[in-house]
């Protein structure tokens, strides 16, 4: 995973877990996606394996 993708994953994690920002600020948000499609995008981006890879990438 490259650093840019890792940054997107971690930004989404912070936005989703912090509840202080709207979904429209999340990198996974797609204004054209319907509820189920949007949820799938979020679940894929925030999968355990993606979070682990993002953390490994950012740690170096």
Can you say whether the dihedral through the CA atoms of 56, 51, 49, 2 is positive or negative? negative
Q: How far apart are CA 4 and CA 36, in angstroms?
A: 26
Q: Record the pTM.
A: 0.79
- The region, left, alpha or beta by phi > 0 then psi within -120 to 50, assigned to residue 19 is left
Q: Are 7 and 55 in contact (CB under 8 A)?
A: no
| Tokens matching residue 5 | 């993708």
Q: Give the confidence band of 49 by pLDDT, cuts at 50, 70, 90.
A: very high
User: pLDDT tens digits for 30-43?
Assistant: 889 888 998 899 89
Domain boundary assignment for the chain:
3-59
């Amino acid at each position: 995973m490259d650093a840019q993708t890792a940054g997107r994953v971690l930004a989404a994690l912070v936005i989703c877990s912090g509840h202080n920002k709207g979904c429209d600020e999340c990198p996974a948000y797609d204004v054209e996606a319907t509820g189920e499609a949007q949820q799938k995008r979020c679940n894929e981006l925030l999968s355990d394996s993606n979070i682990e890879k993002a953390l490994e990438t950012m740690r170096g």
